[in-house]
Structure 1
């Protein structure tokens, strides 16, 4: 007996319909629109299908018949494990998956904007959670005429865009510390370029940062310091890759070994900031007495830290749901959607000691 046959020929929906004395549409509804049948009739259809050796409708054929795949792809900048390990990425995916659930669509994760899966993934549209370059993934998206939305990365012609004003949000974080009297700063930066480099970046590396979020957050910090008549050397930057809590811990140990050491640290993410708190604790430094720390994201762990982390709150889940909603049937919204941010002041920041 074959997968969809009894040995006497291929079993189809029509075969089952004939055996039961019902219409082909009734058999199809048993698989595709069960709400249209009584529980008893559906059970009867599925039982007969099992007896005849029918495994179910061909998913490829069903896709061609309805003209859509019912799946949204998410292109990630980092390996797929990042989506599950990083709290901010996880919240964004929650927002996307909520919309997918409402629309009976699947969610397909596509690691790396230049990876081979980006060329073969069967999806109706794509959300690019990355700084999508003019490379393989973008070329494939355009060749297949897929609607796409960029989250946080550079805007592209014909694509939707969801993001925040990173520069303004970072400015608010630095301004908060300046208002508390701080004048010596450390900055723990996310990667500026996709080269895995670590250390104190040159002004040229900083000014030409490939990753848009890093470049804009750094510019926001610099704007606030310039407004306070502080020069470039008022903030010592340590760049780390890959980005995460361990990266923040390692960068902080370098910054806090300086003489004089910074009295405040600006971290470009909460994961980096939590690493800074870990380093301060290991060095016996009081936060915020000896060191103030500000993060960026307001992931759930920020409020649970000890002390609780002052940070920039951005709406990760709303980003995801807005991006997914843009890919619903109909034209993709072309004007950028800029979501609001807030500075959340908690216990990790305080006045500079005299």
Structure 2
């Protein structure tokens, strides 16, 4: 492979000093238009790619990029509708200030080494988007001294952040479902800890949860269930390692033998997967099964899904505002945004029991 031309090669080929060649890129006001054009034309001729972006950022003291640290796969930023709307709001808030967004991976298992990408990323500040309490990538960001804003989770003392009232939203949708007369709800939950486990999550697993949002939404569901006089231990909770449509499909296949009449899903994506899985099993929604979600995405509205609306775009805008405030030397306060129950057509009273079917709380 041929050697890439350097700044020294460019200066020699153009017949100028190294400082003049550098100024053609970094301080064009120091050159005449004719001199700069000659240097750039020579660069194109010899294949000089320009100065290192990382080096230029260090010299300026500003990278012009903000890191978005994900608690899920990198593709989540593009495939999950709620994440996409949030990122749209975030980019709107910061792009006029000249910032781009750089998506970074968090650590998927607590206690493991933080990704090298987080340690070496050339960014001015970091958004931690829905990470576990013990994700070591957070420690790397703080060790680097980068301004940090958390989104949804984790909630860190003294750290700016924006989240929604997950517990209140979950309780509201569970109260709605129980108010329809359901006494056999089931829950399709986000992951409780970042170990990739999928399947039933009992009391011990729930107590060990390291994801704040999952804990809070479970707490909201539980408060509603117990206020209705039911036993939370009788409510099956199915844990999904990723927030994805197909995980909802698999979850309802596992839950149906337990006989639920309603499913409380922790996201619209999971809920829509549950609807599909129920249809694959020959059930109708809401005739045979009531299904609810959380987020209020466009897809949820099209499907007539009862859900909890959170201000996804506004959340992104507010996070961007907090980042800009931190970079300006200010100290923004954490914010908790309200949620709203949105009732649509995916809920109805439970169907009449079939012959031999057990009625009331408890698993069959």
Inter-partner Cα distance in structure 1 for 2:23 and 2:263: 70
> Superposed, which structure 2 residues align to 1:155-174 within 5 Å?
155-174=155-174
Say which SS state the counterpart of residue 11 (structure 2) adopts: coil
> Superposed, which structure 2 residues align to 1:79-90 within 5 Å?
79-90=73-84
Deviation per CA, 1:275-319: give whole Å up to 9, x if none: 1100111122121121111001112211122xx111111122222
Q: Is the 8 A contact 1:187 1:236 kept in 2?
A: yes
CA gap 1:135/1:192 in 2 versus in 1, 3 angstroms: closer
Deviation per CA, 1:19-58: give whole Å up to 9, x if none: xxxxx66257xxxxxxxxxxxx96x565333334376555
Say which SS state the counterpart of residue 301 (structure 1) adopts: helix
Q: Is the 8 A contact 1:16 1:27 kept in 2?
A: no
Deviation per CA, 1:123-170: give whole Å up to 9, x if none: 111100132545642332222211100101122233211101111100
Say which SS state the counterpart of residue 167 (structure 2) adopts: helix
Q: Is the 8 A contact 2:82 2:312 kept in 1?
A: yes
Inter-partner Cα distance in structure 1 for 2:280 and 2:118: 43
Establish whether residue 26 from structure 1 lines up as the match of residue 29 from structure 2: yes
Match of 1:95 among 89, 102, 116: 89
CA gap 1:275/1:332 in 2 versus in 1, 3 angstroms: farther
**Which residue matches 1:304?**
302
Inter-partner Cα distance in structure 2 for 1:250 and 1:144: 41
Gaps of 5+ in 2: 108-113, 353-364
**Which residue matches 1:51?**
41
Inter-partner Cα distance in structure 1 for 2:55 and 2:101: 20
> Superposed, which structure 2 residues align to 1:289-300 within 5 Å?
289-300=287-298
With structure 2 as the length reference, what TM-score do the two structures score?
0.83
Match of 2:67 among 68, 73, 84: 73
Q: Is the 8 A contact 1:173 1:312 kept in 2?
A: yes
Question: How many residues are matched?
Answer: 332
Structure 1 residue 240, shift from structure 2 partner:
2.2
Gaps of 5+ in 1: 19-23, 29-40
Say which SS state the counterpart of residue 308 (structure 2) adopts: strand
Question: RMSD across aligned C-alpha pairs, in angstroms?
Answer: 2.5
Q: Is the 8 A contact 2:189 2:240 kept in 1?
A: yes
Q: Is the 8 A contact 2:171 2:223 kept in 1?
A: yes
CA gap 1:233/1:10 in 2 versus in 1, 3 angstroms: same
Establish whether residue 143 from structure 1 lines up as the match of residue 143 from structure 2: yes
Indicate the larger mover: 286-295 or 89-98. Answer: 89-98
**Which residue matches 1:153?**
153
